[in-house]
Amino acid sequence: MLSNLTFVVSNKTCVKDPIKSELGKRILLESINLLDEIGLEHFTFRKLAKSIGSTEASIYRYFENKHKLLLYLVNWYWGWLENKILVETHHLRSNYVKLETVIELLASPIEQDPTIEYINEEKLYQIIIAEGAKAYLVKEVDEDNSEGLFLGYKGLCSIIANFILAINPKYKHSHSLASTIVETCHNQIFFSQHLPKLTDLKEDDHSTLKDFVLHLTAATIH
Amino acid sequence: MLSNLTFVVSNKTCVKDPIKSELGKRILLESINLLDEIGLEHFTFRKLAKSIGSTEASIYRYFENKHKLLLYLVNWYWGWLENKILVETHHLRSNYVKLETVIELLASPIEQDPTIEYINEEKLYQIIIAEGAKAYLVKEVDEDNSEGLFLGYKGLCSIIANFILAINPKYKHSHSLASTIVETCHNQIFFSQHLPKLTDLKEDDHSTLKDFVLHLTAATIH
DNA sequence: TAAATTTGATAGCATTACTATTAAAACACA
DNA sequence: TGTGTTTTAATAGTAATGCTATCAAATTTA
């Protein structure tokens, strides 16, 4: 079986491509474990170095700082998702079913790909939910953006916006709706896990999430 | 004119109530300026102390750490907004107009109240947009939640959910829609300022934002 | 006026976020 | 097989961060 993985992660996020060396892959693997475990605020390169049995200085040769590492991971997710969407929708005729597929992918944890041993997709999905917004909610956002570090997110939204426009070419807010769909999927999962009064989902109820977002989307477009 | 400000900020966020002393008020005033200027990641009590001509130790007597200070400010906003919503909707008969009023308030910068000299509402609104999600996107969220530090947000969502249910008692996802409305308003403003490819709004176009969210809401409920 | 509280000044300490240097190890290739 | 190049580990160091503690001066309150 051929790999579906034809996407490339935007590269200004790292000093040296981590997937090209053993240490780099261990950095990715363990940073996902550690981020999932202790969260971005408590995550340091010192702790990461310790958990992979290496040194801070070695990690700095791959990533400038933890913010760039987060951006790398987030971009990996956007790239993975965009690729997945293209693979799973290109054979579909109905634009509505295409949009449904997108929402289904966004609303469910990405499944483990055993051919990529350095990314734990389930944990990465959880990191996206809990930390993803911090990739752009920083003072450096304009600078990062001008370096192309959000191309993954923008590409994804563009695809979704096009599906929306294919269903209703007159709808005026396709990009806003696209980003709202993405953000809402992640937010509602987080709320179901931690602030249940802010949602109607039971914890990690991906099926109800899909119903909610799909209905909202369909009603809004028409 | 009587003050509308009958709300109280949830108090576990602070060690000592800042509005009851001169220093406390200066802490609020300057923390809003500084947060708006340099963002939460670069914000430190040392810098804050310097900018108000006081010391770190003094600030720690009011707030345990910067996360609690952010929670205080965020709760102030939720409280302010809830109060404002109640004042501006209680005389309205139409539930739809009530919901419209909520969205209008969420989608526009809160206007300056000259009777509260220690809060710059415009800057606070900008802080909510850029930093608000960080109040809950932390590993301590469950602990904070059990101490009641998100009651403000939950109360607000509950009110909005009730307006939604008053319009359509059969709608199944009133809480999810309520939190989606709130998050979307803030997100779309941020995107319009920094990641315009993710939205159709022009920068700070509150009027288009209102149209977008109102249409989305109305379509979804019916 | 005394007692209690609040603030400012100063000090200190463990951790974080890096940067620099050097030597060992691994690898590339001739 | 040896030589050069890149990669990594080890170590050290520095400025900033995130606190805590102590004490005296100033202010408030009783």
pLDDT confidence tier of residue B3, bands split at 50, 70 and 90: very low
CB of B140 nearer than 7 A to strand D: no
How far, in Å, CA of A189 to CA of B210, rounded? 25
Interface probe, candidates A38, A67, A75, A179, chain B, greatest B C-beta count within 10 A? A179
CB of A57 nearer than 7 A to strand C: yes
- pLDDT of residue B190 exceeding 50, the answer is yes
pLDDT confidence tier of residue A112, bands split at 50, 70 and 90: confident
Question: Mean pLDDT throughout A155-164?
Answer: 97
- Strand C nucleotides where any atom sits below 7 Å of a protein CB: 6-12, 15-21
Residues 115-154 of A with CB under 7 A from strand C: none
Return the DSSP state at A119. -
Instruction: Provide Rg for chain A, Cα atoms.
Output: 18
Residue A96 confidence (pLDDT):
95
Q: What's the mean pLDDT when you consider all of chain A?
A: 93
Least confident stretch, A15-29, B137-151, B198-212: A15-29
Asked if A135 is an interface residue toward chain B (Cβ–Cβ < 8 A), one would say no
How far, in Å, CA of A106 to CA of A159, rounded? 13
Which amino acid is it at A143? E
Domains of chain B, each with CATH number or no CATH: 70-221 (1.10.357)
Task: Spell out the residues 6+ positions from residue B5 whose beta carbon is closer than 8 angstroms to its own.
Answer: B80, B83, B113, B115, B116
Percent of chain B whose predicted confidence (pLDDT) is above 90: 90
Residue B112 confidence (pLDDT):
87
Nearest to B155, CA basis, from B175, B177, B139, B183:
B175
pLDDT confidence tier of residue B9, bands split at 50, 70 and 90: low
How far, in Å, CA of B107 to CA of A121, rounded? 35
pLDDT confidence tier of residue A4, bands split at 50, 70 and 90: very low
Question: Mean pLDDT throughout B20-38?
Answer: 96
Interface probe, candidates B47, B78, B137, chain A, greatest A C-beta count within 10 A? B137
Which amino acid is it at B78? W
Which amino acid is it at A98? K
Q: What is the pLDDT of residues A44-80, one digit of tens each?
A: 999 999 999 999 999 999 999 999 999 999 999 999 9
Residue A8 confidence (pLDDT):
57
pLDDT confidence tier of residue A195, bands split at 50, 70 and 90: very high
Return the DSSP state at B57. H
Asked if B38 is an interface residue toward chain A (Cβ–Cβ < 8 A), one would say yes
- pLDDT of residue B196 exceeding 60, the answer is yes
- pLDDT of residue A2 exceeding 70, the answer is no
Nearest to B32, CA basis, from B126, B117, B110, B124:
B124
Return the DSSP state at A11. G
Residue A25 confidence (pLDDT):
93
Q: At what angle do helices A174-194 and A206-221 cross, to 10 degrees?
A: 160
Question: Mean pLDDT throughout A139-163?
Answer: 96
Residue B2 confidence (pLDDT):
36
Q: What's the mean pLDDT when you consider all of chain B?
A: 94
Residue A35 confidence (pLDDT):
97
Do B208 and B201 contact (CB within 8 A), yes or no? yes
